[in-house]
Structure 1
Amino acid sequence: MLALAEAAAHEHSYTPLTAIRTYWRAFAWCQFISIGALLWGYDAQVGGGILSVPSFRRDFGSIIDGQPVLSAAWQSGFNSASSIGGMFGGLSLGFVADRFGRRGAVALCCVISTIGIFLQFFTPVQANPMLLVGKLVNGFALGMYVSCASSYCSEVSPLALRGISTGAVNLWIVLGQFLSNGVIEGTGTRTDKYAYRLPFAIQWIFPAILLAGLPFAPESPWWLVRKGKVEQAKAVIARLAGPTLDLDLHVNQIKETIELEQREAATSSYWDLFRGVNLRRTIVASMVFVLQQVAGVVFVLGFSTYFFELAGFADENAFRLGVGVTAIGIVGNILAGLTMNRFGRRFLFNWGMVGCAVVNFLIAFLAIPGKTSTNWAMAIFTLIYNFVYQIGIGPLGYVIFAEVSSARLRSKTVGFGILVNSLCGMIANIVIPYLVNPDEANLGGKVGFIFGGLGAIGTIWAWFFIPETKNRTVDELDVMFERHVSARHFSDYLLETADHREKH
């Protein structure tokens, strides 16, 4: 395993700046493949934001006391359909990506997504079931988009850029949310059906961009080596990093890592996710998304525009606040990319959990008086929450779940993580309208007490079980998980010292 040690030393020698100079092509292609993640964020934000469009509530709901209202049941149905589709899409990635490659999986996503958008755009008035099916079909593609982007970024990026590129998947999601809020602000005041049809139609742009660029995109060298296409893998690495790189060394690193993992298990089925040491890796990869939901991301962000309106803001101000929330999120993601290699994944994730829990409690306390004078204060804390979330658990969740998975099971682990993400999102989207809506529990901002408490519990779990994956190569992480290193000791664990002790 000499190649592993030599390649690891070579990768550790890179700083993010020197890595991006050498691997700028790899970083650029990672961003291209991540465009699909933009649609995930766009769809999620449209689901909540479009509820604030009066013509949508009129065409798919009913008039109550002279106002158009969409029932909580249909709100939950529309918002959870994409999550249900995403669950199956994420789970299917393991089979599709392992068989047809990362590029083939993205191409399939584009075709399915185009069909789902078509169904949503052409849904007639009051044909709620057809719209539901369209969101379900599109959701299937969205689950695969995000899973594939995370896998691709993790496999194509060098160590120094791995966290930045995988974390950028969340940045693309936030960009999608920002675009969605901007589109809804521009079209939401229309009184015809295009107030909500135009936001659906804009989604067609991105599958078209991906399909146009995919023929030129490099395939994952890890997938090529696993399929025995070594020369093609060398050509891809040369294309991504330039001809001066030691191609044989890096291909041998991939080979030996795969061989190291195959010694532990000869198969790579979905059942292997729950066997032996992989169970721990699967739990961590899944829990980062569970923790995002228990921290209240759907409550604070997914329903922000709708919540502002319920709190008494005019439609125009509610739309602007929704755009402001996502704009702050973009800034937070950029700062996370600049700081995660310095402070580490574990540090930012854990303190992000603390911050989100605190802000949830503050929003809840402000909601107790039930006065409009606290509305702007609650709006400010919504902005603060998004900044805290997007500099911590938002992007770091995508980094951690891609890094803790083994190379052999990466597409399956990542896909399962997205399944859990979609499942938790679906549950949140079903439950929260009943908690927030005036015609149901009518808790409003006091829902923050629930997510503040859950976030505090989640913070304790994260402290004991989220490992530090910064500056660890794939094979180093394999060894540390095999040796059952405590999550709290990942950052200071010395492989060379441990190896020396084992020899004596």
Structure 2
Amino acid sequence: MGLLDKVKGHKASGNGLDTSGRTSSDPGIKEQEGGIADINFDQNTDDTETIMNNPNLDDGKVPRVTFRTAIMAIIAAMGGFIFGYDTGQISGFLEMQVFLERFGETNADGKLFFSNVRSGLIVALLSIGTAIGALLAAPLADRIGRRGSIPWWCLIFCVGVTIQIAVGDGQWVGVAMGRWVAGLGVGSLSVLVPLYMSESTPKQVRGAVVCSYQLFITIGIFTSNCINYGTESRTDTGSYRIPMAIGYLWALILCIGMLMLPESPRYDIRKGFNKRAFNTMQKFYGVPVNHRAIALETAEINANIRASQGSHAWYEVFTGPRMGYRTMLAMALQMFQQLTGANYFFYYGTTIFAGVGLSNSFVTAMILGGVNVGATFFGLYFVEHFGRRKCLITGGLWMFMCFMIFASIGHFKFQPAIEGSNDAKTYGTVLIVFACLFICGFASTWGPMIWAVNSEMFPYRYRANAMALATASNWIWNFLLGFFSPFITGAIDFSYGYVFAGCNLVGVAIVYFFLIESATRTIEEVDTMYLIHVPPLKSSKWTSEMIERELASSDNMHLAHGGRNVEKRNRDEEANAQQVEGNGVLGGKLAGDDSLPQHPLPANDLPAHLQQ
């Protein structure tokens, strides 16, 4: 139980729940024990059909969202706030006079400036740290828990902030290395927060809750822009050290907040804390302990944990059932989230619009940040009401159009105009307008929804490692763009926008041809859709008679070493299971067999499209 329950005075005994200990030496098995009352189903079962036919379970309406779920989303999403705050502040630092005097270079005329290499390293070394942190987060999260590992990464982030504040005059390498250390914490949080959210949230609001991570990224960027605006006029080192030091506050809020929340129910059951997990599900669902929704999810988790016990090598994220397809797709989606061009504005926005001739380019950065926050609220609505695919395709086409106009106006009209002329001001205003329109499209679609679809497409046994690889892909491309953008912009100026426009079209094509619609479906249902090769173009209309019954998911398979072959097991004699190469959901396809693939349901119980 998290401290939130203790603070509010909610004791487990009030619900007949004892959250104090393990229920079994076997981490995958639930056992009925004293201390759990009013539960009218076998907690040890993974038979969803029995649960569906149990007349003693409550079928009352499940609230769409509960107060506890909302609080959990706000606290956990502070990990996104830290990400956004650290990303947004560096753009302002590069334009601060004191920062330039302490860490810049002097040209032959005695004028201070940042070379492309120096500014690129200061900006982009954060991303190298985040990529490494993302890869390190998964094994630690599997060992000490999703919730339990987050405070430690907050501490690492604070160490990085301390290094940046402490460096002396001229020690720009210290600033860059401090950002690298802080990046270790930011990158780990970018894996752990969506992972914790997706495993703890009821399916009816899972997409919106995971998207709140991106919402808090945008709020963090906007907050850093406002603080930079308030300190940039200072003539001492407080102009940049104050915004840096405020970063401690966000890490402290996240650290303390996570101690008030419970662990992910799926992780708790895997480790044997079954009663605590059951208590968590009850509170997040907002229903009685004997509700059918909780019983079904408990059975689903039991089946998945049983099937996925044992060690799984990291490379199974590529060799497991349809995992190579999904892992590469997730990495590509994260890559193209960066290649949309959003961070072109967030990293260098202040510098870009200083060239437009505005009296205070920090104000423009605040405008862009405010638009980013406001548009993300629309994304929380779109993701649950219009689905993932439609929003990502529409958003990608919108961003393509905006960048085409932005690049054309910038290259052919603004660039040749005389600095300070009416034409320059007019075209500069047009650039700002289309930058805002672009950010509206990004913040309501590709910004939040990529995090949502990545957290939904993997089965439990591979989720942490696969999400770590996908997130590392995001950060690697974040580094490449952050480091090379000054060089590219210096060479081709606003024509750089054509590159991003083309990348947006490619991203749309990837979503259209390869991504399966996951809205309103459980993680296990999405897994099934990938396994049975549901065509992405038809996935939004796909329905299954297997809903609320045992699904053909990766977590229900008993895989041979490496995840390449499926081991068929008799439910009553699992101990004597024999490995049969080629059997299982993928067996028929791999062996070239035209018969129906192995499936938990008899052939005549399958949906019509599977019987065919």
Contact kept in structure 2, 1:11 and 1:158, CA below 8 Å: no
Contact kept in structure 2, 1:301 and 1:386, CA below 8 Å: no
- Provide structure 1 residue ranges, at least 5 long, that are not aligned to the other structure: none
Query: 1:491 aligns to what SS in structure 2?
Result: helix
Give the whole-Å Cα distance in 2 for the aligned partners of 1:12 and 1:468: 28
Per mean C-alpha deviation after superposition, the further-off stretch among 147-156 and 208-217 is 208-217
The aligned counterpart of 1:486 is 535
Give the whole-Å Cα distance in 2 for the aligned partners of 1:215 and 1:488: 43
The aligned counterpart of 2:430 is 377
Deviation of 1:102 (Å): 1.3
Query: 1:96 aligns to what SS in structure 2?
Result: helix
Contact kept in structure 2, 1:37 and 1:169, CA below 8 Å: yes
Q: 1:189 to 1:230 in 2, by over 3 A?
A: same
The 5-angstrom pairing of residues 160-175 of structure 1 reads 160-175=204-219
The aligned counterpart of 1:294 is 339
The aligned counterpart of 1:356 is 399
The 5-angstrom pairing of residues 318-333 of structure 1 reads 318-333=361-376
Residue 309 (structure 1) aligned with residue 354 (structure 2): yes
Q: 1:486 to 1:45 in 2, by over 3 A?
A: same
Contact kept in structure 1, 2:200 and 2:265, CA below 8 Å: yes
Contact kept in structure 2, 1:105 and 1:144, CA below 8 Å: no
Give the whole-Å Cα distance in 1 for the aligned partners of 2:287 and 2:541: 35
The 5-angstrom pairing of residues 30-429 of structure 1 reads 30-64=73-107, 65=109, 67-242=111-286, 244-246=288-290, 250=294, 253-257=297-301, 259-260=303-304, 263=307, 267-275=311-319, 276-314=321-359, 316=360, 318-367=361-410, 368-369=412-413, 370=415, 371=417, 372=424, 373-429=426-482
Deviation of 1:210 (Å): 2.3
Q: 1:100 to 1:463 in 2, by over 3 A?
A: same
Letter in 2 for 1:216: M
Deviation of 1:446 (Å): 2.1
Per-residue CA deviation, residues 375-401 of structure 1 (Å, 9 max, x unaligned), is 111011111111111011101111111
- Bigger Rg, which one: 2
Per-residue CA deviation, residues 137-182 of structure 1 (Å, 9 max, x unaligned), is 1000001112111011101111111000000100010011001111
Deviation of 1:187 (Å): 0.9
Contact kept in structure 1, 2:51 and 2:292, CA below 8 Å: no
Contact kept in structure 2, 1:257 and 1:475, CA below 8 Å: no
Per-residue CA deviation, residues 198-217 of structure 1 (Å, 9 max, x unaligned), is 11111000121223233321
Give the whole-Å Cα distance in 2 for the aligned partners of 1:388 and 1:258: 41
Give the whole-Å Cα distance in 1 for the aligned partners of 2:338 and 2:50: 39
Per-residue CA deviation, residues 242-267 of structure 1 (Å, 9 max, x unaligned), is 46143686366345346348658964
Q: 1:13 to 1:147 in 2, by over 3 A?
A: farther
Query: 2:460 aligns to what SS in structure 1?
Result: coil
Q: 1:476 to 1:5 in 2, by over 3 A?
A: farther
Give the whole-Å Cα distance in 2 for the aligned partners of 1:137 and 1:4: 50
Per-residue CA deviation, residues 461-487 of structure 1 (Å, 9 max, x unaligned), is 221112210011122112111112122
Per-residue CA deviation, residues 220-242 of structure 1 (Å, 9 max, x unaligned), is 00100111221121122233334
Contact kept in structure 1, 2:85 and 2:221, CA below 8 Å: yes
Q: 1:81 to 1:5 in 2, by over 3 A?
A: farther
Give the whole-Å Cα distance in 2 for the aligned partners of 1:11 and 1:429: 54
Contact kept in structure 2, 1:93 and 1:148, CA below 8 Å: yes
Query: 1:204 aligns to what SS in structure 2?
Result: helix
Give the whole-Å Cα distance in 1 for the aligned partners of 2:449 and 2:235: 40
Per-residue CA deviation, residues 267-308 of structure 1 (Å, 9 max, x unaligned), is 433211111311222122222211112211122333211100
Deviation of 1:67 (Å): 3.8
Contact kept in structure 2, 1:284 and 1:404, CA below 8 Å: no
Residue 499 (structure 1) aligned with residue 543 (structure 2): no
Q: 1:459 to 1:117 in 2, by over 3 A?
A: same
The aligned counterpart of 2:580 is none
Letter in 2 for 1:353: G
Give the whole-Å Cα distance in 1 for the aligned partners of 2:315 and 2:239: 46
Give the whole-Å Cα distance in 2 for the aligned partners of 1:57 and 1:246: 63
Per-residue CA deviation, residues 398-447 of structure 1 (Å, 9 max, x unaligned), is 111111122222222222221111001001111111122xxx41x33221
Contact kept in structure 1, 2:51 and 2:296, CA below 8 Å: no
TM-score (norm. length: structure 2): 0.76
Letter in 1 for 2:165: F
RMSD, aligned CA: 2.4
Give the whole-Å Cα distance in 1 for the aligned partners of 2:58 and 2:485: 45
Deviation of 1:49 (Å): 2.5
Letter in 2 for 1:385: F
Q: 1:478 to 1:284 in 2, by over 3 A?
A: same
Contact kept in structure 2, 1:11 and 1:159, CA below 8 Å: no
The aligned counterpart of 1:3 is 48
Residue 433 (structure 1) aligned with residue 486 (structure 2): yes
Per mean C-alpha deviation after superposition, the further-off stretch among 323-332 and 237-246 is 237-246
Give the whole-Å Cα distance in 2 for the aligned partners of 1:365 and 1:334: 30
Q: 1:249 to 1:105 in 2, by over 3 A?
A: same
TM-score (norm. length: structure 1): 0.92
Contact kept in structure 1, 2:202 and 2:285, CA below 8 Å: no
- Provide structure 2 residue ranges, at least 5 long, that are not aligned to the other structure: 1-45, 418-423, 547-604
Query: 1:111 aligns to what SS in structure 2?
Result: helix
The aligned counterpart of 1:447 is 496
Deviation of 1:30 (Å): 2.2
Contact kept in structure 2, 1:258 and 1:408, CA below 8 Å: no
Query: 1:281 aligns to what SS in structure 2?
Result: helix
Query: 1:408 aligns to what SS in structure 2?
Result: helix
Contact kept in structure 2, 1:356 and 1:385, CA below 8 Å: yes
Give the whole-Å Cα distance in 1 for the aligned partners of 2:61 and 2:345: 38
Give the whole-Å Cα distance in 2 for the aligned partners of 1:264 and 1:38: 34
Give the whole-Å Cα distance in 2 for the aligned partners of 1:253 and 1:212: 29
The counterpart of 1:472, out of the listed 521, 529, 532, is: 521
Deviation of 1:2 (Å): 4.0
Contact kept in structure 1, 2:51 and 2:295, CA below 8 Å: no
Deviation of 1:496 (Å): 1.9
Letter in 2 for 1:331: G
Give the whole-Å Cα distance in 1 for the aligned partners of 2:223 and 2:204: 30
Query: 2:94 aligns to what SS in structure 1?
Result: helix
Per mean C-alpha deviation after superposition, the further-off stretch among 359-368 and 204-213 is 204-213
Letter in 2 for 1:472: R
Deviation of 1:312 (Å): 2.7
Per-residue CA deviation, residues 124-143 of structure 1 (Å, 9 max, x unaligned), is 11111211211111000001
How many residue pairs get matched? Answer: 492
* Higher RCO, Cα 8 Å, sep 6+: 1
Contact kept in structure 1, 2:317 and 2:324, CA below 8 Å: yes
Give the whole-Å Cα distance in 2 for the aligned partners of 1:153 and 1:292: 20
The aligned counterpart of 2:3 is none
